[in-house]
Amino acid sequence: MSEGFLNRLYTCQALHYSYREKDSSTPVLNGIDFHISEGDFLCLTGPSGSGKSTLLNLLGMIEMPQEGEFIFKGRQVSELSEKQINEIRRYEIGFIFQDFQLIDVLSIEENVEYFLTRQKIASKERKERVESALLEVGMIDFRHKRPGELSGGQKQRAAIARALAKRPSVIVADEPTASLDLANGRQVMETLAKLNERHGVTVVIASHDAMVLQYAHREIKLLDGRILQEKEARHAV
């Protein structure tokens, strides 16, 4: 086995996915081949409707491919039980969305902690994780605020802290800067880049935004549910 293989987080081969309803089936991913190594910073690009969000949902194990080989950390996902998949989703994957998806009635600190209460983590460690995640994204001073009192960029950084508190292997982010102005978008990307560089968290982002690409190591361009192009991206300076 080559070293590259040992560092593989995901291997995807000939993945197919269709949205299925009673009497119709809409093919959306039509044979996707790629892999993601640990520590990678990958950006999925492509026009609206090309399948970026659907592919992120597969990587986040929210949906399962109907065909193809899907391997996470050396394990064939199709052979895992529902319980094992739930554990991967809960412990290994941090999701970030365009609209943040924070709970309005909870403080920022409670939002970050809420996800951990569903894991088997003792209360003392939970508090430590919440604090270090908020420190890491520069949001510790806002811990007692509610989402409604924050700017979009601050909300997104709180959402990153929520994902980070899980200590995930991978952060999967769907258009994380699309609701933000340029300055806030950059701050969010810088936060993700820091987590990637300092802590080795793998980051996979879907985005239309050219600014986002400046932070990625690698770009995969989708078109009509296929990979059109895969290339190294330039780092931000």
Site for ligand ADP in 46-105 (CB under 6 A): 46, 48-54
Q: Give which of Mg ion, ligand ADP, none residue 154 binds (C-beta under 5 to 8 Å, depending on kind).
A: none
Single out the residue of 96, 116, 73, 100 nearest to residue 171, CA to CA.
96
Compute the least distance from the CB of residue 51 to ligand ADP, in Å. Answer: 4
Q: Give which of ligand ADP, Mg ion, none residue 81 binds (C-beta under 5 to 8 Å, depending on kind).
A: none
Q: Give which of Mg ion, ligand ADP, none residue 188 binds (C-beta under 5 to 8 Å, depending on kind).
A: none
Over the Cα atoms of the chain, what is R_g?
Answer: 18
User: What is the dihedral sign for C-alpha 159, 86, 62, 30?
Assistant: positive
Q: Are 143 and 174 in contact (CB under 8 A)?
A: no
**Angle formed at CA 88 by CA 140 and CA 178, multiple of 5 degrees:** 50
Q: How many helices (H) and strands (E) does the chain have?
A: 8, 10
DSSP at 28: E
When asked if residue 19 is in the footprint of ligand ADP (CB under 6 A), the reply is yes
Site for ligand ADP in 206-225 (CB under 6 A): 206
Q: Are 218 and 42 in contact (CB under 8 A)?
A: yes
Site for Mg ion in 57-96 (CB under 5 A): none
Q: Give which of ligand ADP, Mg ion, none residue 26 binds (C-beta under 5 to 8 Å, depending on kind).
A: ligand ADP
Q: Are 115 and 179 in contact (CB under 8 A)?
A: no
Compute the least distance from the CB of residue 28 to ligand ADP, in Å. Answer: 4
Compute the least distance from the CB of residue 64 to ligand ADP, in Å. Answer: 14
Return the amino acid letter for 236.
Answer: A
Compute the least distance from the CB of residue 159 to ligand ADP, in Å. Answer: 18
When asked if residue 25 is in the footprint of ligand ADP (CB under 6 A), the reply is no
Tell me which residues touch ligand ADP (CB under 6 A): 19, 26, 28, 46, 48-54, 206
Tell me which residues touch Mg ion (CB under 5 A): 52-53
